[in-house]
């Protein structure tokens, strides 16, 4: 799956962050990933789904 605005480096950071800190509990948790700020999160949030 490709998300507009998320390149391979950011995608890798998302995965590494999850491996280091565990699952994401909310979309806002992605703000803890280097390279994802409020503007990027706003653009990608419709493509992200966090499940229980």
Q: In the prediction, which pLDDT does 37 show?
A: 96
Q: In the prediction, which pLDDT does 51 show?
A: 87
- Where are the domains positioned within the chain? 8-47
Q: How many CB atoms lie within 10 A of CB 14?
A: 19
Question: Between the CA of residue 43 and those of 19, 22, 37, 39, 47, what are the distances in Å?
Answer: 24, 24, 10, 6, 9
pLDDT by position in tens, the chain (length 52): 789 889 999 999 999 999 999 999 999 999 999 999 999 999 999 999 998 7
Map the chain to HEC letters.
CCCCCCCHHHHHHHHHHHHHHCCCCCHHHHHHCCCCCHHHHHHHHHHCCCCC
């Amino acid at each position: 799956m490709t998300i507009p605005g998320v390149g391979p480096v950011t995608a890798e950071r998302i995965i590494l962050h999850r491996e280091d800190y565990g699952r994401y509990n909310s979309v806002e948790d992605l703000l803890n990933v280097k390279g994802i700020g409020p503007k990027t999160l706003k653009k990608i949030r419709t493509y992200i789904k966090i499940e229980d």
